Structure 1
Amino acid sequence: MSEQHALQQALQQAGERLGCDKVIPHGYHVHYARHLLHWWHQPLRLLEIGIGGEDRELGGASLNMWHQVFEQAELYGLDIYPKQALDRPRLQTFVIDQGDPAALREFARQHGPFDVIIDDGSHRRSDQLASLFNLIEHVRPGGYYILEDYFTAYWPVYDGSTLARDFLDTPVRWLKQTIDIININNLLSEQVRRQVPNWKIDALHVYPGIAFIGKSHHSPPSEIPNEHFLLNQIELDELRYGIYKQLFFTHSRDPMQHLEALLEIKKWVDASIQTADEALKPKSS
């Protein structure tokens, strides 16, 4: 049996015994076994956002699973409800709202950095983004920032949307933009690079319901061969798309900002086409 398979079995057995939804129904333990194998018998600093349950005596299944399986792990859990009943050696809980940037930064300043941060909190897009933006810099090189249940970005009950998925600022949209972040040094425009956060990441692993963002040991490489090629490609990009540049920048900052204006333009274009069509129709004698 491989080490990875052994870890997968250990997580499954502990998770089933503790009632951890990472195992049933989600099956995330398969992916955790793949990506967390390095720390199984090594020191691990793991922060999990969202402990579960609205009572101080409830929740904690996943923290207990990590505690049992990763015997050298130092574990930290954040929740909006007090969970001190779970506290014991190697496991501490804190009452912190994951949507509070200042509280997150202060916590990370005092207790970070971490090898692994898992967001299994409210699943509301504003909370998920607040946590991502303020905590990812506190993941050590070689570690992971992990988003669980990111599919809630498509559901209005979590302030997401399926129809507006390309216009709302959601975790899924940022997972897509992670490819740009990994390739920040292959972007031609300095103005565009300034709009892309330098999270120092070099990997993105996306599975159904769970995504692992990998922190890099080194600056992302550039594949731009030389200065002549760079200047040539900048010029060509400007010739083709420079006229739309401001629209692109506005959209990347806030896709919803000009949605109403775009809708009005579409209505005007549709009406103009209809008027032109009417004018071209043969007139009855």
Structure 2
Amino acid sequence: MTTESLIKSTSDLEKYFNNNSKRLIHKWKHYFDIYDRHFNKYRDKELVILEIGVFHGGSLQMWKDYFGDKVKIYGIDINPRCKSLEEDGIEILIGSQSDRDFLRSIKKSVPRPDILIDDGGHTMKQQITTYEELFDFVKDDGVYLCEDVHTSYQVALGGGFKRKGTFVEYSKNFIDWLNAYHSEQRGLKVSSFTKSVNSIHYYDSIVIVEKAVRQKPIDLKSGEASFDNDGFDENTYQVFKRKVRTIINLVLRFFRLPSF
């Protein structure tokens, strides 16, 4: 890649970061392209952003520069000194993201966000509590982003590979919930998540949930068939074999064993 093409491929967010002379920002390099991929459509529009984890206030300024004059930004941090980092278009609320009562009070004091970014304390409790209290608060066509989820693999913050209770393990349920319209089992039912989520994106250290009001999927066909009965007629033995296989798989499924 030439220097010229590299410059052209660099997102505006990364350009801002590389030339930042304002407040401190701390980000992994690969985050900028991810942000731009999911946030670009919101630029220069009426917009509300809620970011948990103010740090030194630099990312709030970065969002303000990136999204334009129509954005309203709310930051949340447990450090009371962060209140001094407020400026035009940026309001900061002080409280703990582990405190469910505090998070519930947020829903009464700020507008519903188009984008929610969890860049807070990164412990398992903080990430899961924040999701449980604030995911539904995000607008119906909004984006929920939890970053630094690599802490799900770090023991000091409660993590561990396939360890119960990590945010990564918790978020794997999202995949099932998204596909619940197709479930044949009572253990997986259509939920508010199923009806309100369009897609889930996993990146190194980031999980993004893009919302959209969603109805039950419609299965369609178009065009003329190339063969009668889809080109295959089952004989008596094949029908029997399929029924037996179905029964075996029902038993295996009950015990959550691999399919036959």
TM-score, length of structure 2 as denominator length: 0.76
Q: CA deviation at 1:174?
A: 2.8
Cα separation, 1, equivalents of 2:44 and 2:248:
50
Cα separation, 1, equivalents of 2:199 and 2:9:
22
Amino acid at match of 2:65: Q
Q: Tell me if structure 2 keeps the 8 A contact 1:181–1:201.
A: no
The match for 1:48 is 51
Cα separation, 2, equivalents of 1:189 and 1:96:
41
The match for 2:155 is 156
Q: CA deviation at 1:194?
A: 7.0
Counterpart among 78, 87, 91 of residue 76 in structure 2: 78
How do 1:168-247 and structure 2 match up within 5 A?
168-193=164-189, 198=194, 200-219=196-215, 221=217, 236=247, 239-241=250-252, 243-244=254-255
Amino acid at match of 1:48: E
Structure 2 stretches lacking a partner, 5+ long: 1-6, 220-242
Cα separation, 2, equivalents of 1:236 and 1:196:
32
1:160-218 alpha-carbon deviations (Å, 9 max, x no partner): 112xx2x4122111332211111121111234327895572120111112221111122
Amino acid at match of 1:178: F
Cα separation, 2, equivalents of 1:216 and 1:103:
27
Sequence identity (%): 25
Cα separation, 2, equivalents of 1:215 and 1:97:
25
The match for 1:33 is 36
Q: CA deviation at 1:27?
A: 2.6
Label 1:200 to 1:43 Cα distance change in 2 as closer, same or farther (>3 A): same
RMSD of aligned residue pairs (Cα, Å): 2.9
Q: Tell me if structure 2 keeps the 8 A contact 1:98–1:131.
A: yes
Q: Tell me if structure 1 keeps the 8 A contact 2:180–2:188.
A: no
Q: CA deviation at 1:141?
A: 2.1
The match for 1:271 is none
Is structure 2 residue 134 aligned with structure 1 residue 131?
A: no
Cα separation, 1, equivalents of 2:53 and 2:182:
36
Cα separation, 1, equivalents of 2:146 and 2:252:
34
Label 1:243 to 1:213 Cα distance change in 2 as closer, same or farther (>3 A): closer
Partner-residue secondary structure (3-state), 1:36:
helix
Label 1:95 to 1:239 Cα distance change in 2 as closer, same or farther (>3 A): same
The match for 1:66 is 63
Q: CA deviation at 1:8?
A: 5.2
The match for 2:224 is none
Amino acid at match of 2:77: D
1:47-79 alpha-carbon deviations (Å, 9 max, x no partner): 001111xxxxxx111111111221221101000
Cα separation, 1, equivalents of 2:46 and 2:8:
18
Q: Tell me if structure 1 keeps the 8 A contact 2:42–2:67.
A: yes
Amino acid at match of 1:80: I
Q: How many residues align?
A: 223
TM-score, length of structure 1 as denominator length: 0.70
The match for 1:118 is 117
Q: CA deviation at 1:10?
A: 2.2
Cα separation, 2, equivalents of 1:195 and 1:43:
30
Cα separation, 2, equivalents of 1:222 and 1:238:
26
Cα separation, 2, equivalents of 1:212 and 1:195:
19
Partner-residue secondary structure (3-state), 1:67:
helix
Cα separation, 1, equivalents of 2:155 and 2:41:
37
Which structure shows the higher helix fraction? 1
The match for 1:226 is none
171-180 vs 189-198, which deviates more? 189-198
The match for 1:20 is 25
Q: Tell me if structure 2 keeps the 8 A contact 1:48–1:76.
A: yes
